[in-house]
Structure 1
Amino acid sequence: MNLERKDKLLKIKGMKNFRFVLYGLLAVLVFLFGFALWYRYTYSMETVQAYEVNSPTLARSLLIAAQGSEFKNSVVEGIVDHYKSNAIFIKVVDISALENMDVSGFDAILLIHTWEYRKPPEAVQLFMDKNPGLKSKMVVLSTSGEGSGKMEGVDAITGESIISDVSLYVEKVIIKLHQLLETGN
Structure 2
Amino acid sequence: MKRVVVFCGSSLGFNTIYKETAIELGNYFAKNNIGLVYGGGKIGMMGAIADTILDQNGEVIGVIPKLLEKEEVIHPGVKEMIVCDKMSDRKVIMSKLIDGYITLPGGFGTLDELFEALTLNQLQIEQKPIGLLNVNGFFDAMLQQIDKMIDEGYIKPINKKLLIVANSVETLMQQMRNYTAPKISHVINKVVK
- Normalising by structure 1, we get a TM-score of 0.33
- Normalising by structure 2, we get a TM-score of 0.32
Flag the structure with larger Rg. Answer: 1
Structure showing the higher helix proportion among its residues: 1
